[in-house]
C-alpha cells in the first residue's frame, strides 16, 4: 500500500507543566502535535482555555493539529485557525453550521478537520466533503486519554476511506492507538494517527513514535 502516513502525538498525556519540552522530545520524529481542547461542556473534562492554548501553539516546535472538543465550536474555531494552528478539527455534533465553520478555517489557510464521535455515522456528514481536509474518526469516546481502542469503529473508518476515494483528504483516528492497535486502523484505511498515552507513557516517547511509523510503513 503506498500511502502517506502521519503520526501526531497527543500531549494530553504529557506533563502539562513542561509542554514546550515535552513537544521538543518528539519534534524531530513527528509530523504534527495533536492539541486536545476540552471545555467541560461538550466533554466532561477541561484542558486549556484559548489564551493558554495560543501560548502552546506559538511556542510549539511542531505544527499544531488542534482537536476542538468544545460546545461553541462555530464561534471559536476561526480564532484557533488564526492563532497559528496547521489544522483545526471541529466536532460535527457540536456545530450549528458545519460548512461555514469549515470554510472559515480554510479561509485563513489552515486545514479543516471534521470529527465524528463513535455514535455518529459518516453517511450523515459526507455531504460536507468538499469543505473537509481531514476526517477524524474517534476510536474512543472523546474526553480522556488512556481509554481502550474501539475495534468496532473500523467499519466506519473503511466506509470513510471509500467515501474519500481519490480526494487528498487525510483520515485520522484518535483514541487507544498504540503498537498493538495501529495496524488494524491502518488496514481499515486510516493514514493519520493520534497517539497520546502510548507515546507519553513510553520510556522514550520519540522511540515509540518511530516504532508506530515503522509498523505502518512495514505493513504490506
Q: Which of 30, 174, 176, 198 binds Zn ion (CB under 5 A)?
A: 174
CA dihedral 30→149→217→211, nearest 10 degrees, is: 60
Rama region for 102: left / alpha / beta (φ>0; ψ in -120 to 50; rest): alpha
> Whole-number minimum distance, CB 94 to ligand DX5, in Å?
13
Q: Which residues pair with 116 in a beta bridge?
A: 137
Containing 64, the helix (H) or strand (E) segment is: strand 64-69
The one catalytic residue among 36, 39, 65, 133? 36
> Whole-number minimum distance, CB 177 to Zn ion, in Å?
10
Judged by beta carbon distances under 5 to 8 A according to partner kind, the member of Zn ion, ligand DX5, none in contact with residue 197 is ligand DX5
Rounded Cα–Cα distance for residues 159 and 170 (Å) = 14
**Site map 134..173 versus ligand DX5, x via CB under 6 A:** ------x-xxxxxx--------------------------
Which of 144, 198, 106 lies closest to 114, judged by CA?
106
Instruction: Confirm or reject binding of residue 189 to ligand DX5 (CB under 6 A).
Output: no
Rounded Cα–Cα distance for residues 111 and 85 (Å) = 9
Q: Which of 6, 25, 67, 213 binds Zn ion (CB under 5 A)?
A: 67
174 given a catalytic annotation: yes
Enumerate binding residues for ligand DX5 (CB under 6 A): 10, 12-13, 34, 36, 67, 140, 142-147, 174-177, 194-198
Give me the active site residues, please: 36, 174
Amino acid at each position: 500500500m503506498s500511502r502517506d502516513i502521519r503520526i501526531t502525538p497527543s500531549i494530553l498525556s504529557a506533563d502539562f507543566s513542561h509542554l514546550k519540552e515535552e513537544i521538543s522530545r518528539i519534534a524531530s520524529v513527528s509530523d504534527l502535535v495533536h492539541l486536545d481542547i476540552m471545555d467541560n461542556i461538550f466533554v466532561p473534562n477541561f484542558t486549556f482555555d484559548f489564551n493558554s492554548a495560543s501560548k502552546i501553539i506559538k511556542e510549539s516546535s511542531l505544527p499544531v493539529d488542534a482537536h476542538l472538543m468544545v460546545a461553541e465550536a462555530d464561534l471559536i474555531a476561526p480564532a484557533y485557525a488564526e492563532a497559528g494552528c496547521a489544522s483545526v478539527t471541529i466536532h460535527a455534533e457540536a456545530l450549528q453550521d458545519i460548512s461555514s465553520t469549515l470554510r472559515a478555517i480554510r479561509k485563513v489557510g489552515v486545514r479543516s478537520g471534521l470529527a465524528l464521535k463513535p455514535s455518529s455515522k459518516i453517511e450523515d456528514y459526507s455531504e460536507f466533503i468538499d469543505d473537509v481536509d481531514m476526517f477524524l474518526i474517534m476510536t474512543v469516546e472523546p474526553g480522556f486519554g488512556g481509554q481502550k481502542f474501539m475495534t468496532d469503529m473500523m467499519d466506519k473508518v473503511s466506509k470513510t476511506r471509500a467515501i474519500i476515494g481519490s480526494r487528498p483528504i487525510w483520515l485520522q483516528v484518535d483514541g487507544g492507538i498504540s503498537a498493538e492497535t495501529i495496524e488494524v486502523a491502518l488496514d481499515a484505511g486510516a493514514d493519520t494517527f493520534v497517539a497520546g498515552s502510548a507515546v507519553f507513557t513510553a520510556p522514550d516517547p520519540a522511540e515509540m513514535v518511530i516504532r508506530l511509523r515503522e509498523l505502518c510503513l512495514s505493513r504490506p
